[in-house]
Amino acid sequence: MAIVDVIMPQMGESIAEGTITKWYKKVGDKIAKDETLLEISTDKVDSEIPSPSAGLVAELLFPEQKTVDVHTVIARIQTDVHAPLMPVPEHVQSKTENPTPEIGSTIDSSLEPVTIRQSTSAETNRFFSPLVMNIARAEGISLSELEKIPGSGANNRVSKKDVLDYIERRKSGGATAYIKPSTAGTPSGSVEVIKMDTMRKAIAEHMVRSIHTSAHVGSVAEADVSKIVAYRERHKTDFEKREGFKLTFTPFFVDAAVKAIKDFPLINASVDGDSIILRKDINIGVAVALENGLIVPVVKQAAGKDFAGLARAVNDLSNRARTKKLAPDDVQGGTFTITNPGIFGNLFGFPIINQPQVAILGVGAIKKRPVVINDAIAIRSMVYISMSYDHRIIDGALGGMFLQRMVQYLENYELGIMN
Amino acid sequence: MPVISYIDAISRGLWEEMERDSSVFLLGEDIGEYGGAFKVTKGFLHHFGSDRVVDTVLAESAILGAATGAALVGMKPVAEMQFADFVTCGFNQLVNNSASIHYRWNLPVPMVVRLPSGAGIHGGPFHSRNPEAWFFHQPGLKLVAPSTPYDAKGLIKAAIRDPNPVLYFEHKRLYRHIKGEVPDGDYVVEIGKGDIKRPGNDISVITYGAAVHLALEAAEMLEKQSGISVEVIDLRSLMPLDKDLILSSVRKTGKVLIAHEDTLTGGIGGEIAALIAEFAFESLDAPIKRVGARDIPTPFAPTLEEYFLPNKERILTALRELAAF
């Protein structure tokens, strides 16, 4: 008789915990594989969690509204429905205090894709002593954060003193100042204090960390997308009839970005200490605004999809983002992100890089503008595309060339793209 | 408090114990009229008489066998090895008999073996050994190695009162070289308890015996030169080890050097390193380092002996490497 553990999934790379909002089953209930077992809420996404296995619900380890660390075992499914419900031995019931080392021993192999791959941690070349790792764990310093601490030891090793100094700096201002309530700066007069919810805190943390991590620099290019606008106008009815959803502009930009990334692969990278990690898969994150925040689901293996495939993927992900049906895997593994400041009519924006990526593209509003073509003034559908990129590894030349290559792809969209 | 030498502290401890307990007696080669090779027992024969200060034949096996037998019938013998090196001739008595009797017969074996040990006196290969590691490996024996006059007196008294066979390693070069405050009258230094000879925060030196003094000098110099704060832990007892003290110091500093005068390979330092790696791994901020004598028999030529022995410079080098790591 096999017991399959259900773990709190990691719904995003920076997510450390989730709240169980509703159990759909009780102990003893039958459940099918992929049938919804519970609903969870994290700081990025609310999601229904399917059962990893068919069987009987053997144990629900936490009550509703309880917040637990990711990778904690939260329920157990007994796969043999005919066996009596067996109590699980004491020693495996304990909650994982320190999730990482226990992952292998507590989760069923079918769930393994959900385990954390901490950004580029496995590829680190820097040595951290047991003590430094220990302090980092106790203080909640991630490996990628550790890697950024300049070391004063031999071969620039981060010593105990370095990490303690870092913690001191962090406490006294530094990277997490945004979380620390300011005692000096409470404004007087008529105010309303709004507590950040978990999603807001996570966004705040990620944004400030990104600013502290990457040397942001921006470029803006202008593209004439009249052909795309006309093409969409002509085909949108057929498209919707055939595909069952509306054709938006987003897949055009995703497609152009994928093509330009193939030409300039350094855009699709991460920085790990003094190494540049080229990401061979092109996984495009597409920012989706939600009622109270935003989430960035990822179009995986975008290079292997044709236009219709990209359009379907974008539609599917944004739908599921809005209906809280994203799976953990949907929001992980992005290598490049596209966001859309134009959705509210703005011309362009200056987005913040989605770590550990090195570039993010902002698509402005498509507007008709008078432009000069061959010394004549014409009315064309124009868009500004802006890109923030990490100047540590991407120079202005590369960033500019990449944007211009995107412009070329956008302006020369040929027929037959909807094959 | 009176300041006396290390050797006088041993003598006083012995004397006081013999006055205190009539079952304590001494045996060894030329310890009576001659007062022992190093004069530790000078004057004892005339005060305590030849029943309690026994000159023996030149046979360590006989001395240790007799001591073991005497301990079994309720006496508290203190046997002197003229040089620690010669204990090899009585090795069988110690490791096969004295060490195992309690486990075989459930009887106490309250004997002490004094082992004048250590190099640095140009004694050559037969008069310079630090043989503690051989006995460290043998369950059933206790081992102590004082580095100061205070500990020397307190530990000889504790050793005599202990119901187990205790090997008392007294370092020859410290005999008249090291002086220190020693209280008049009775006190003991508990066996199994180390001592922080110098508190510090950045690096721990775990050491014992003569190497304690090298470590203290090196620590002082490093603090003065570089402001690096070195803690010096004097084990005092080698068996049992003061594991709590070792681990708490390492947990505080995160960096550790183990130093002993015994040759490095197979020395006690290896066991201490293993202990730290096993129980304080997550506190380590640098590899565990060791300094000991080089792995050769003690050379006779003074220059070679100097090269052979650990010294302040070698300890300083290791400390600097740890500080820079």
Tens digits of per-residue pLDDT, B160-188? 999 999 999 999 999 999 999 999 999 99
CB contact under 8 A, A153 and B283: no
Write the burial class of residue B214 (CB in 10 Å: 0-12 exposed, 13-18 middle, 19+ buried).
Answer: buried
User: How much is the pLDDT for A274?
Assistant: 85
A131 chain-B contacts, CB cut-off 8 A: 254, 282-285
- Check if the interface score ipTM surpasses 0.90: no
User: How far does the CA of residue B14 sit from the closest CA of chain A (Å)?
Assistant: 46
- Residue A22 neighbours by CB under 8 Å, 6+ apart: A38, A39, A64
pLDDT at A176: 45
What band does A103 get if pLDDT is binned at 50, 70 and 90? very low
Mutate to test the interface with A, among B256, B281, B285, B325 (most CBs of A within 10 A): B285
Mean pLDDT value across chain B:
97
Tell me what pLDDT residue A82 has. Answer: 67
Q: What angle do CA A103, A22, A206 make, to 5 degrees?
A: 55
In this prediction, residues B294-298 reach a mean pLDDT of 96
Phi, psi of A337 (to 5 degrees): -125, 145
For the whole prediction, is pTM greater than 0.90?
Answer: no
Secondary structure of residue B12 in the 3-state scheme: helix
Using the predicted structure, report yes or no on whether residue B304 has a pLDDT greater than 60: yes
Distances (CA, A) of A205 to A208, B62, B154, B296: 5, 77, 60, 60
Write down the pLDDT at residue A95. 42
Instruction: Read off the pLDDT of residues B189-229 as tens digits, 9 standing for 90 and up.
Output: 999 999 999 999 999 999 999 999 999 999 999 999 999 99
In Å, what is the CA distance from A217 to each residue of A206, A284, A340, A342, A360?
18, 20, 18, 20, 11
Is the separation of the CB atoms in A292 and A337 below 8 Å? no
Given a contact cutoff of 8 angstroms between Cβ atoms, the answer to whether A118 and A142 are in contact is yes
- In DSSP notation, A289-326 reads EETTEEE--EETTGGG--HHHHHHHHHHHHHHHHTT--
| Known catalytic membership, residue A206 | no
Question: In chain A, which residue's Cα lies nearest the Cα of B253?
Answer: A160
Determine the Cα–Cα distance for residues B54 and B87; give it in Å rounded to an integer: 18
- What is the number of H-type helices and E-type strands within chain A? 10, 19
Query: Concatenated DSSP letters for A21-66?
Result: EEES--TT-EE-TTSEEEEEE-SS-EEEEE-SSSEEEEEE-S-TT-
Q: CA-to-CA distance for A406 and A408, rounded, in angstroms?
A: 5
Q: Decide if B227 touches A, using CB distance below 8 A.
A: no
Strands A293-295 and A298-299, sheet pairing: unpaired
pLDDT at B50: 96
Contacts of B89 (CB under 8 A, 6+ apart): B59, B60, B61
The yes-or-no answer on residue A46 being catalytic is no
Q: Return the pLDDT at A48.
A: 82
Helix (H, G, I), strand (E, B) or coil at A246: coil
Q: Give the rounded percent of residues in chain A with a pLDDT score beyond 90.
A: 39
- What is the CB-side half-sphere exposure of residue A39 using CA atoms within 13 A? 8
A214-229 mean pLDDT: 94
Average pLDDT over residues A364-379: 94
Over 80: is that where the pLDDT of A10 sits?
no
| b/e map A96-106, b = 16+ CB within 10 Å | beebeebbeeb
| Torsion sign, CA atoms B93, B94, B95, B98 | positive
Contact A129 B285 (CB under 8 A): yes
To test the contact with chain A by mutation, choose from B282, B284, B288, B321 the residue with the greatest count of A C-beta atoms within 10 A, namely B282
The fraction of chain B above a pLDDT of 90, given in percent, is 99
Q: Which of B177, B211, B167, B163 is nearest to B315 (CA)?
A: B211
Question: In the predicted model, what is the mean pLDDT of chain A?
Answer: 82
pLDDT exceeds cutoff 60 at A89: no
Q: How many CB atoms neighbour CB A255 within 10 A? A: 23
Pairwise CA distance, residues B198 & B200, whole Å: 7
Q: Where are the alpha helices (DSSP H) in chain B?
A: 6-20, 44-48, 60-72, 91-92, 101-105, 132-136, 149-161, 211-226, 243-253, 268-279, 302-308, 312-324
pLDDT band at A83 (very low <50, low <70, confident <90, very high): low
Say what the pLDDT of residue A85 is: 56
Least confident of A273-277, B11-15, B102-106, B170-174: A273-277
Q: How far apart are CA A221 and CA B60, in angstroms?
A: 95
**R_g of chain A computed on alpha carbons:** 24
Confidence band for A186, pLDDT divided at 50, 70 and 90? low
Note whether B144 and B168 are within 8 A (CB).
yes
Contact B254 A134 (CB under 8 A): no
Q: Is the pLDDT score of A14 beyond 70?
A: no
Mean pLDDT in residue range A362-385: 94
Does residue A45 carry a pLDDT above 90? Answer: no
**Rounded Cα–Cα distance for residues A114 and A49 (Å):** 12
How many angstroms away from the CA of B204 is the closest CA of chain A? 14
pLDDT band for A70, please (50, 70, 90 cuts).
confident
**pLDDT given at position A173:** 60
Q: Is B196 on the interface with A (CB under 8 A)?
A: no
Look at A159 and B283 and tell me if their CB atoms are within 8 Å. no
For residue B151, the SS3 value is: helix
Q: Please give the residue that has the higher pLDDT: either B103 or A138.
A: B103
Q: Is the pLDDT at A313 greater than 60, yes or no?
A: yes
Contact B283 A133 (CB under 8 A): no
- Within 8 A by CB and 6+ apart from B86, the residues are B60
How far is B65 from B77, CA to CA, in rounded Å? 11
Q: Residue B302 pLDDT > 90, yes or no?
A: yes
Sequence-ordered list of residues with C-beta below 8 angstroms from that of A121, at least 6 positions apart, any chain: A143, A144
Contact B26, B53 (CB under 8 A): yes
pLDDT at A185: 52
As a whole number of angstroms, the distance between CA A180 and CA B176 comes to: 63
Give pLDDT, residue A289: 86
Whether B285 and A133 lie within 8 Å, measured CB to CB: no
- List pLDDT tens digits, range B225-264: 999 999 999 999 999 999 999 999 999 999 999 999 999 9
Least Cα separation, residue A98 to chain B (angstroms): 14
pLDDT tens digit sequence for B50-76 = 999 999 999 999 999 999 999 999 999
CB nearest B286 (choices: A129, A133, A134): A129
B contacts of A159 (beta carbons < 8 Å): 285, 325
Provide mean pLDDT across the span A358-381.
94
Using the predicted structure, report yes or no on whether residue A86 has a pLDDT greater than 70.
no
Scanning B278-307 for CB atoms below 8 A from A yields 281-286
- Residue B147 clears pLDDT 60, i.e. is over it: yes
